[in-house]
Structure 1
Amino acid sequence: MELMFKSIKEAIRFKSFLATNGLQDSFQEKRGRFIYSFQPIDTNKDQYVSALIQYIQTVKRNEWLDQVLQKKYRFESENERHDIIEVVSEMFAGERKELTALAGVVKEESILREAVIDLLDFKGTVAFDSFLRFRLKEYFKQVTTYLGIAIDEYKMEQDYQVFVQTLRDYLHDRVTRQSIVHLILDRPETFYDEALKEMKQEEIQGLLDPRLLSNHPVYVDSAVIAPLLSMAPNKIFLYTKDEDQPLIRTLKNIFEERIAVFSTNYFYRLAQAYTKHS
Structure 2
Amino acid sequence: MELIFSSIKDAIRLKFFLTANGLGETLMENQGQFMYRFSTDHAKNDRYVKALTYFIKEIKRNEWLNDKLLHTYHYENEDERSHIIDIATDMFAGVRKDLAELAGNINENQVIGLAVKDLLSFGGAVLFESFSRFRLKPYYEHVGKYLEIAIDEYKMEQEYQMFVNMLRDYLQNRTPRLSTVHIYLDKTAMFYDENVQEIAHHDLKELIDQRLLANHPIYVDSAVIAPLLSIAPEKIYLYTFEEEQALVRTLRNIFEERISILSPANLHELKKSYTNKP
TM over 0.5: yes
Shift of 1:74: 0.3
Output the TM-score relative to the length of structure 1: 0.95
Partner of 2:176: 176
Measured on the aligned residues, the alpha-carbon RMSD in Å equals 1.5
Listed as ranges, the matches of 1:252-271 within 5 Å are 252-271=252-271
The sequence identity of aligned pairs, in percent, is 53
Q: Does 1:137 align with 2:124?
A: no
Deviation at 1:41, TM superposition (A): 4.2
- Structure 1 gaps of 5+ residues are none
Aligned partners of 1:35, 1:276: CA distance in 2, in Å?
83
1:194: which partner in 2? 194
Deviations 1:91-145 (A, max 9, x none): 0110001111212211111111111122222212111111111111111111111
Distance (whole Å) between structure 2 residues aligned to residue 18 and residue 168 of structure 1: 51
Which segments of 5 or more consecutive residues in structure 2 lack a partner in the other structure? none
- Aligned residue runs from structure 1 range 162-173, under 5 A: 162-173=162-173
Q: Structure 2 matches for 1:52-67, cutoff 5 A? A: 52-67=52-67
**Runs ≥4 residues deviating over 3 A:** none
CA contact (8 A) 1:208 1:230 kept: yes
CA distance in 2, matches of 1:113, 1:93: 17
CA distance in 2, matches of 1:8, 1:241: 56
**For residue 242 of structure 1, what is the aligned residue in structure 2?**
242
Contact 1:191 1:199 in 2 (8 A): yes
For 1:247 and 1:104, locate their aligned partners in 2 and report how far apart those are by CA, in whole Å.
28
1:47-86 pair list within 5 angstroms: 47-86=47-86
TM (norm. structure 2) is 0.95
Q: Which one-letter code corresponds to 2:179 in the other structure?
A: S
Q: Deviation string for 1:172-209 (max 9, x for gaps)?
A: 11111111000111122110001110001222122211
SS at match of 1:169: helix
Partner SS for 1:43: helix
Could you say what secondary structure the match of 1:277 adopts? Answer: coil
- Does the CA-based 8 Å contact 1:183-1:237 persist in structure 2? yes
The number of aligned residues is: 278
